[in-house]
Chain A
Amino acid sequence: MKRYVVFLAILCFPFAALGATNDFTRTLFVGTHGEDVRALQKFLNSDAQTRVAETGAGSLGNETDYFGSATKRALIKFQEKYRNEVLIPVGLTSGTGVFGPKTREKISALLTSSQKTDATALKEIPQITTEQGKVYLMFPSQYSGKAGTMITVLGAGFTTNDNTIYFGTKHAVIKASSQSGQSITFKIPEIPKGLYNLSVKNARGESNKEQWFIVTDGVSPEPKIEKTELGTVSRGDTVVIHGSGFLKNNNTIMVSGIGLFENVSSADGTSVSFVVPQNAFPVKFSPKATKQSFSISIRVLNENGVSNMGKLNLAL
């Protein structure tokens, strides 16, 4: 009988292992061990605002299965970022660092939504072939971060170990390696904060230079859009974006499919606005088209970073 029990236990092991570690089913807190802790750390590391650690154990790519004080701190940042959904419904205003039902619900919802942005997703793309002598820099895993943060850039034509990543013309990361030829992970160098054009140079050639990155000081708050669903508007309407981290002057509002609104002021640091141009999306749909509007993505950027995405519906 004992032999059968042991045999069945061994048999069940692969099914337990196949069970997705992204299924969060238990409460996690300081001292907990498990693969779900590792999955939680990976999730927290996918957002620059909630990183568990910048280097070493718990940092991006070095997640562990132990829930320690660093994980707790990162979780508190996450809970306070999504305060309205995670804390306020249970009568709290400050993060607790305990991965309970409300936090679990929010993270599970984010994981199953289409808004995944972790660097792991970049590695799943089938191989892109390039001609000899061509190097392409397509986009970074994030567009702002402080010195020492690990980021990944995706492109094509990267060489195994002699890529130089330029931040502007005066600063560079040398001898960056790429296993796949399509992504390079490296640490942001210790350079002054500011907006830099990115490019890559290696033995194959030099890449395009229009991609950009904002090096932050890690102290000043990055712009953030609080209410990400901005509603439905028409041409000529004024759109007010509420959030935080907006500067008195020199904010830029990026409105996809329309353009840039530069040098935007914010009197109180919590709102910026723009007017939808009359010639925005001058398209006429057939009456049989199921959707007669456009979803437009919006971000706010300034010298302290780039905000999360806001979404607007433009009715035609």
Chain B
Amino acid sequence: MKALSFVKKYKILLIAIFLVAATVGTLVFQAKKSEALGMLGFGGYVASVTVCTCSTLPTYYVSLGPPTGGEFLLTEALSEPFQYYDIWGTNGSFEGDTWVNTPSGPWLVGSYSTGVGAGCMMLGEPCYSMPPAMGTILQYGTSLGAATTNI
């Protein structure tokens, strides 16, 4: 009874506190969600791009040089481009299923996560997996390729 009369008396104030808490809670949750996804930064020039020819979804195994290089997966369904979206560049060539840039390709920078995405499967009898990548790219931007062959 005391609780009920308390609620009645401070009804407006309680509603206000609830709404503010819900707003702040939502914002904090979004920030925590990014942390939970383990979004990490990466950036380097594209040394090579291997087409995952036996993966169900369009997936590429991207090998990057420094500063923060390594092997990353780019899956069209998961990786969101925000700038130029040119992972190939214009001064490379294919060696089998892999596009190799010489001397270096476009720059690729963005964020990746270690907790999402499948691996890179290559066509074979049977299909086989590429070595594990550092993670799956979530957002990425690229530079444009070379503008002239006279670099």
Contacts and interface: CB of A to CB of B under 8 A. Distances in A.
Contact of B53 (A18, A260, A279, A286): A286
Interface residues of A, number: 59
A117 B56 contact: no
Interface string A259-281: 11010000000000000000101
A252 B107 CA distance: 21
Contacts, number: 158
A156 interface: yes
B67 A7 contact: no
B143 A257 contact: no
A246 interface: no
A289 B58 contact: yes
**Looking at chain A's contact residues, is the secondary structure mostly helix, strand, loop, or mixed?**
loop
A295 B87 CA distance: 11
B51 to A, nearest CB: 5
A283 to B, nearest CB: 5
A210 B41 contact: no
B123 to A, nearest CB: 5
Interface string A8-25: 100100110010000000
A256 B142 CA distance: 12
Given A117-B83, A282-B94, A128 B19 contact: no
Contact of B67 (A121, A131, A211): A131
Given A4-B12, A14-B20, A279-B94, A288 B56 contact: yes
B151 interface: yes
A186 interface: no
Size class of the contact patch on chain B: 35 or more
B53 A130 contact: no
Interface of A: 4, 7-8, 11, 14-15, 18, 114, 116-117, 121-122, 124-131, 134, 136, 138-139, 143, 154, 156-157, 195, 208, 210-212, 214, 252, 254-260, 262, 279, 281-286, 288-291, 297, 299, 301, 306, 309
Interface of B: 12, 16, 19-20, 23, 39-43, 45, 51, 53-58, 66-68, 76, 80-92, 94, 97, 99, 104, 106-107, 109-111, 121, 123, 127, 139, 141-149, 151
Given A7-B16, A138-B143, A259-B90, 15 more contacts: A18-B23, A122-B141, A126-B40, A136-B66, A139-B107, A260-B90, A260-B91, A260-B146, A260-B149, A279-B94, A284-B53, A285-B53, A286-B123, A288-B54, A291-B57
Closest 7 CB pairs of A and B: A126-B41, A139-B143, A257-B88, A138-B107, A286-B54, A130-B67, A128-B43
25 contacts: A4-B12, A8-B12, A116-B83, A121-B83, A125-B41, A126-B39, A136-B107, A139-B107, A156-B67, A211-B143, A252-B147, A254-B145, A256-B86, A256-B87, A257-B89, A260-B91, A260-B145, A260-B147, A283-B51, A283-B53, A285-B51, A286-B54, A288-B56, A289-B54, A291-B58
